[in-house]
Amino acid sequence: MRAFLALVSALLLMAAAACGLKPASAFVPNIEPGSIQPLPGLKDATIKVTSKEFTEQLILGKIAVLALTAAGAKVEDHTNVQGSVTARKSLTGGDNDLMWEYTGTGWITYLGEDDPIQDPQKQWEAVRDADLKKNGIVWLGPYAPLNNTYAMAVTKASQSKFGLKNLSDMAKVPVAQRTYCVEPEFFSRNDGMRGMLQTYGIPYGSSSGVPAGNVKQMSSGVVYSATSQGNCTFGEVYTTDGRIQGLGLQVLNDDKKFFPNYNADVTVREAVMRAHPEIRQVFAQISPKLTTDVMRDLNSQVDVDGNDPVFVARDWMKQQGFIK
């Protein structure tokens, strides 16, 4: 019986392949060019696009696939790779040609720098220059305004009760209610919990700052729900995460500019850019439209509303007039 079922399964898979069915992650809907028009230099050019596996990267990856398709390229969709390092190695190793990346990730994770640069333009320039020189990776520019960095979020009730707008306002909250829900990684990072508290003058472990018992460590998904339910006053979030909007959380302004910048930009292998410099023209009109608020809304359409990243990407690009 098991052998029979295995045979049936194999035949079904073969039939699906014969019908042209593809994994959902590789599906691309039919589109027509809008403001992104076919470019002679990209006609019949094969461009391999990759992305990481989380929601925002899937959306950005599909935006890249659709944009290059509209511009006339033959696009191989290799999006949805597990992990930053794996996706990056596929780019530097030549298995893929193009992916969206973040300035903070490039600077800290790939280039091994310890100290982020506070000015986003200077941070981007530093990453651009170093990555090209060391790894032959081109950062297209202009980078997107979206900044997927760390932040602290509170409920509307807490914001109103304590008058919270900036991270400096954390000091307004009585010590007993100065509670935090954070991921273990954020708690241990130099650019995470303790560094943030020290910068804002409420040191960790101090009876007048943030006592150790006031910090609860948990997974990212639990942080959002625990914060929204009032289990802690402050919750560690990512600024473009759609659950912020879905749960009605309020992000506090990092008024002392502690957290690194994680602006998104398209990265491309140098050899591919030399062969197809028109790629820069394609993304120059897209990147400026991707703000933190826009990206948060797009992420929410996937994580909260349950829509497919490729359709979220397509609908947004249609709204912007990039495609039809």
> Residue 67 has which token pair?
């944009």
**CB-CB contact of 148 with 259 (8 Å):** no
**Are 46 and 132 found together in one domain?**
yes
Helix axes 292-303, 55-70, angle to 10 degrees: 110
Helix (H) or strand (E) holding 75: strand 74-81
Residue 3 domain-assigned (yes or no) = no
Tell me what pLDDT residue 127 has.
99
**pLDDT tens digits for 285-304?**
999 999 999 999 999 999 99
Domain end position, chosen among 251, 278, 303 = 251
Question: Which pairing describes strands 180-182 and 234-238: parallel, antiparallel, or unpaired?
Answer: parallel
CA 142 → CA 97, 182, 227, 263, 291, distances in Å? 19, 32, 35, 10, 12
Distance, CA of 304 to CA of 298 (rounded, Å): 10
**pLDDT tens digits for 238-258?**
999 999 999 999 999 999 999
Residue 235 domain-assigned (yes or no) = yes
**Are 34 and 125 found together in one domain?**
yes
Residue 256 domain-assigned (yes or no) = no
Domain end position, chosen among 222, 251, 280 = 251
**Are 160 and 120 found together in one domain?**
no
Tell me what pLDDT residue 23 has.
37
Domain with 135 in it: 28-147+261-319
For residue 19, the SS3 value is: coil
What CATH code is carried by the domain that includes residue 189? 3.40.190.120
Residue 73 domain-assigned (yes or no) = yes
List the chain residues with pLDDT less than 50.
Answer: 1-24
**Which phi and psi angles does 270 have, rounded to 5°?**
-60, -40
Residue 35 domain-assigned (yes or no) = yes
**Are 32 and 141 found together in one domain?**
yes
Q: What is the count of structural domains for the chain? A: 2
What CATH code is carried by the domain that includes residue 40? 3.40.190.10
Residue 193 domain-assigned (yes or no) = yes
Residue 86 domain-assigned (yes or no) = yes
Distance, CA of 35 to CA of 177 (rounded, Å): 52
Q: How many CA atoms lie within 13 A of 245 on its CB side?
A: 18
**CB-CB contact of 106 with 143 (8 Å):** no
